[in-house]
Each structure stands twice: as structure tokens, then as C-alpha cells.
Amino acid sequence: VDTAYGQLAWTLRSDPRVAVLERSNALHAEPPEPVDLVVIDLGWTPQRLAIPAALRWLKPAPDARIISLIKPHYEASDREPRPSGKGRTNAPKAVLPDDEAERIATEVAASLPRLGVRVLGLERSPILGGAGGRSKGAGAGNAEWLVLLARHDAPHAP
């Protein structure tokens, strides 16, 4: 699901197991059928909005999972006022210091059970967000975290 068009890699687009839903908002789209895995990489959208939408797509099975990319620079803009120039506030800060990014990611992960999920793991992504993920310059982008989730009401997988 993507609000854009033509962004999905050809290998995924041409895979018969993949249903491509472009020009769609994942927060409002209805799933064609429940799935075993939901992977989330959203900009400008906090986890508190993304996870409930993902649960609509997820099968009610013990091994169904959500993997979501926590982007602290967007979460911070949702939770903590910060100046961003030209009179705007609450826009993402260019690059958060690592300790602040880690604190925010940990707080976000700790808040997710209130949304109906269990946190199974939290790991720092090896890829920096924004331009830093594509650039070779050390520290050029924001640190991001991958969180592994299961439905809170699903029985524990063996």
C-alpha cells in the first residue's frame, strides 16, 4: 500500500503473491484479505496511528506479525514541540542526536501494548533514515528502529 505510484521495486511488483495497492492511504485502505505479515515504513505518521490500521490487515493467528520502522524524528514531532525554522513548529528536526532518538524509540515501543500488540523485539536499523540511508557520510541521517509485534490477543506462538 502506497500513496505514491510506481515506487515498488519491480521484483516485488511482478511477484504473483504481492497485491499492489498504489495511490492508497494505508490508514484508511481495507485489506483484500487478512495477511500473515504487515511491514510498515511510513513517513510523517506516528506509530499510534499506524499500528491500529495494521491490525485490521493482520490475521488473528499466533504466528502473525507486524514489523514496523519507528522513525523517532517523526515521533518527536508528534509528541514534543520543536522549532523547525520559518515560524513552523512540530516539523521533524533534521537529525536527532542518537541518544534522543533511542530514548524516543524506546518510549514509543513501550507505548505500543496500549494499541493491542505485544512487543517481541526492538532493534536499531543498520540503515539511517532520510538522505543518510543513501549517503556514504557517517551520521548523515536519522537513526531508526525496527520493532517486531504480535497481536496482544493472539495465543503465544510455540
What integer pLDDT is reported at residue 86 of this predicted model? 45
Residue 135 pLDDT exceeds 70: no
State percent of the chain over pLDDT 90: 64
**139-157 tens-digit pLDDT:** 579 999 999 999 998 666 5
What integer pLDDT is reported at residue 38 of this predicted model? 95
Residue 45 pLDDT exceeds 80: yes
Residues 6 or more apart whose CB falls under 8 angstroms from that of 128 comprise 139, 140, 141, 142, 143, 144
Q: What is the pTM of this model?
A: 0.81
- In terms of residues, how long is the chain? 158
**70-126 tens-digit pLDDT:** 999 999 864 554 444 444 445 555 789 999 999 999 999 999 999 999 999 999 999
- 59-79: b (≥16 Cβ within 10 Å) or e: beeeebbbbbbbbbbbbbbbb
- Domains defined along the chain, listed by start: 31-151 (3.40.50.150)
Residue 19 pLDDT exceeds 80: yes
CA pair distance 141, 133, nearest whole angstrom: 6
∠ CA 54-63-147 to the nearest 5 degrees?
Answer: 50
What integer pLDDT is reported at residue 120 of this predicted model? 97
Whole-number average pLDDT of the chain: 85
Residue 9 pLDDT exceeds 60: yes
